[in-house]
Amino acid sequence: MAKYDVNFKQAVVNDYLAEVGGYRTLGEKYTIDRSMVRKWVNAYNLLGRAGLERKNTKTTYSGQFKMDVVNWMKETGESTYAAAKLYIRRLIT
């Protein structure tokens, strides 16, 4: 079970959007870290309510995909950071 449910996250985001307070003020009000408030607001602005919902699926990569990425790194001389930026899906929440 997620530590914070989507309705709680939505309430925090709604308060932020209604200008009840900033990240720090709302963090204190809801006894959560202000970085969590910022993360939820950014996720909501990007994806709407879906950005606040927990992702229940774990991304897995096949052995062939991993080998393709390693070969790409060898051919191009790129770093692991560049490979991750290009090939790994970004998670928001």
- Does 91 lie in the same domain as 62? yes
Is 36 domain-assigned? Answer: yes
Supply the DSSP symbol for 53: S
**Chain centroid to CA 93: how far?**
3
- Does 45 lie in the same domain as 61? no
What's the domain range around 37? 6-52
Is 80 domain-assigned? Answer: yes
- Does 76 lie in the same domain as 62? yes
d(CA 85, CA 72): 13
CB 12, CB 40: distance < 8 Å: yes
Domains in the chain: how many in total?
A: 2
CB 44, CB 93: distance < 8 Å: no
Whole-prediction pTM? 0.60
Residue-by-residue pLDDT tens, the chain, 93 positions: 468 999 999 999 999 999 999 999 999 999 999 999 999 999 999 889 888 987 766 778 889 989 999 999 999 999 988 888 887 765 544
In total, the chain counts a number of residues equal to 93
